[in-house]
């Protein structure tokens, strides 16, 4: 499909999902060779009209140059003139090309999974360097989200196979732990710029309809206390839970999730322990619901200088003097946890199921933070959520974050690569509050 047509579909996806009648288009799209019968059957397998419309639009982007004009033609034939007008406002007139000969093999859409990456690392925040970010040419803001319908009290959970239920009002709890000022005995530097990250994420997750609770400058035991309190809440009326850690980080040995996050007194809480508080055994009211963890902290002390790429992959950025890292040297502590790795209380699901941990950087490497504008990772995550949460699932948005942060450079030399451990079983679509 032409890039301009793909952008038009992406920009108007919210309206298409809201108003499109996919069932009236199947015969036309099949007859004109845009979709195969197998693709139509997969779209029909979605349980709701909205899910069918969303899948149809996503698959349409993979179907070549004829797909967009044929789609407009089918919309006209079925009387969906408002959508035709909406799409044509951003599209030059195009005539459908003749249908090519049927290939011997069916071309299926390629679904890109979220890559499995890991944590970050660095040294005590001694180096200071800013970054100038470049605007990606194909970043088109999404239209404002649709209105949410209030959820009646005592509603039953109705998860679909394809995506998590995310329409509770409010959607769930979001705990942000923001460690800025570290005690002298910890030998850790203060994290200038972290309050900027915290403010952005507090506003963002409130806009995504979460109950946000911010805790600042917590010691090791206080971090564990807050996580324990969160696990003991009744989440039965909510659909999701989010934990965000903003602190210094380090490497520890692990058998599931790498890395650890420091309290302001120095000792570090392993990420594996942080996730254990909300797993199926320790928080029964979150069983089968997505638990999201965002870690802005280093995972080690190495600095990545990157490697040479072809010119079309390279987006140079200019270094300066305001970036710091969130790393300390490798810790020798093990991750033997007070909460043992026992069988999940829900026998049909593994313990780490429905958990996603998003790290600001790859294991062993530093994570960069600009003292004036906040960390690379949080700044990008906030913007991607603002522009795309109404239309894209979380895994897709995190891949966008990975790509954009990877284009940055500190001192014109050092790089950063975010990544995630994704144990979600379904797509996750946020429900932003109407603006």
Domain CATH number, residue 67: 1.10.533.10
**Residue 347 CB burial class (10 angstroms; 0-12, 13-18, ≥19):** exposed
Give a yes or no: residue 270 inside a domain.
Answer: yes
pTM: 0.56
Parent domain of 179: 172-304+350-423
CATH assignment at residue 210? 3.40.50.1460
CA atoms within 13 A on the CB side of 84: 15
Closest CA to 347 of 288, 290, 289: 288
Distance (Å, whole) CA 223 – CA 299: 18
CA atoms within 13 A on the CB side of 63: 26
Give a yes or no: residue 188 inside a domain.
Answer: yes
> Is there a catalytic annotation at residue 248?
yes
Same domain, 385 and 291: yes
Same domain, 70 and 180: no
Give a yes or no: residue 123 inside a domain.
Answer: no
Asked if residue 55 lies in contact with residue 20, where contact means CB atoms within 8 angstroms, the answer is no
Distance (Å, whole) CA 382 – CA 401: 9
Give a yes or no: residue 336 inside a domain.
Answer: no
Provide the token pair at 176.
């942000």
Distance (Å, whole) CA 279 – CA 354: 8
Same domain, 285 and 382: yes
Same domain, 228 and 84: no
> Is there a catalytic annotation at residue 298?
yes
pLDDT in tens, the chain (435 residues): 788 888 888 888 888 898 999 889 988 898 888 888 888 888 998 889 998 999 999 888 888 888 899 999 999 989 898 898 889 886 544 445 555 554 444 454 555 544 444 333 334 443 334 444 444 444 445 444 444 444 444 444 445 458 999 999 999 999 999 999 999 999 998 988 889 999 999 999 999 999 999 999 999 999 999 999 999 999 999 999 999 999 998 887 766 788 899 999 999 999 999 999 999 889 999 999 999 999 988 644 443 333 333 444 444 443 444 555 554 433 333 333 333 333 222 234 456 789 999 998 866 555 665 666 778 899 999 999 999 999 999 999 999 998 888 876 554 556 678 888 999 999 999 999 876
Catalytic residue among 5, 248, 254, 262: 248
Give a yes or no: residue 74 inside a domain.
Answer: yes
Give a yes or no: residue 147 inside a domain.
Answer: no
123 φ, ψ (degrees, to nearest 5): -120, 100
Give a yes or no: residue 312 inside a domain.
Answer: no
Q: DSSP characters for 86-105?
A: HHHTTS---PPPPPPPPPSS
């Amino acid at each position: 499909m032409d890039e301009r047509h793909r952008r038009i579909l992406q920009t108007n996806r919210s309206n298409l999902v809201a108003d499109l009648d996919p069932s009236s288009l199947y015969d036309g799209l099949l007859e004109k060779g845009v979709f195969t019968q197998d693709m139509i059957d997969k779209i029909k397998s979605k349980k709701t009209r909205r899910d069918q419309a969303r899948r149809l639009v996503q698959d349409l982007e993979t179907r070549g140059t004829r797909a967009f004009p044929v789609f407009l033609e089918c919309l006209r034939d079925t009387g969906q003139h408002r959508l035709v007008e909406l799409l044509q406002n951003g599209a030059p007139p195009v005539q459908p090309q003749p249908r090519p000969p049927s290939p011997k093999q069916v071309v299926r859409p390629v679904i890109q999974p979220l890559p499995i990456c890991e944590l970050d690392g660095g040294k005590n925040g001694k180096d200071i360097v800013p970054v100038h970010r470049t605007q990606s040419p194909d970043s088109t803001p999404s239209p404002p989200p649709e209105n949410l319908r209030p959820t009646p009290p005592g509603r039953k959970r109705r998860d679909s196979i394809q995506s998590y239920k995310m329409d509770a009002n409010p959607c769930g709890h979001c705990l942000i732990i923001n460690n800025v000022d570290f005690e002298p005995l910890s030998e850790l530097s203060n994290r200038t710029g972290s309050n900027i990250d915290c403010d952005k994420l507090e506003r963002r997750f409130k806009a995504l309809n979460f109950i946000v609770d911010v805790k600042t400058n917590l010691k090791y035991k206080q971090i564990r206390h807050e996580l324990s309190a969160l696990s003991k809440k009744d989440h039965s009326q909510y659909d999701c839970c989010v934990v965000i850690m903003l602190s210094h980080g380090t490497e520890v040995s692990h058998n599931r999730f790498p890395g650890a996050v420091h309290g302001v007194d120095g000792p570090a809480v392993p990420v594996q322990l942080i996730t254990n508080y909300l797993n199926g055994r320790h928080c029964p009211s979150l069983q089968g619901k997505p638990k999201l963890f965002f870690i802005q902290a280093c995972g080690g002390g190495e600095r990545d200088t990157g490697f040479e790429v072809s010119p079309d992959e390279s987006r140079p950025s200019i270094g300066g003097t305001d970036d710091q890292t969130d790393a300390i040297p490798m810790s020798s502590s093990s991750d033997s946890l007070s909460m043992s790795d026992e069988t999940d209380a829900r026998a049909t699901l593994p313990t780490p199921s429905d958990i996603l941990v998003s790290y600001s950087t790859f294991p062993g490497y530093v994570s960069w933070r600009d003292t004036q504008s906040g960390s690379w990772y949080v700044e990008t995550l906030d913007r991607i959520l603002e522009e795309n949460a109404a239309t894209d699932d979380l895994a897709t948005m995190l891949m966008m974050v990975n790509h954009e942060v990877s284009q940055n450079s500190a001192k014109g030399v050092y790089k950063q690569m975010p990544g995630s451990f994704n144990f979600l079983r379904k797509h996750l679509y946020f429900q932003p509050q109407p603006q």
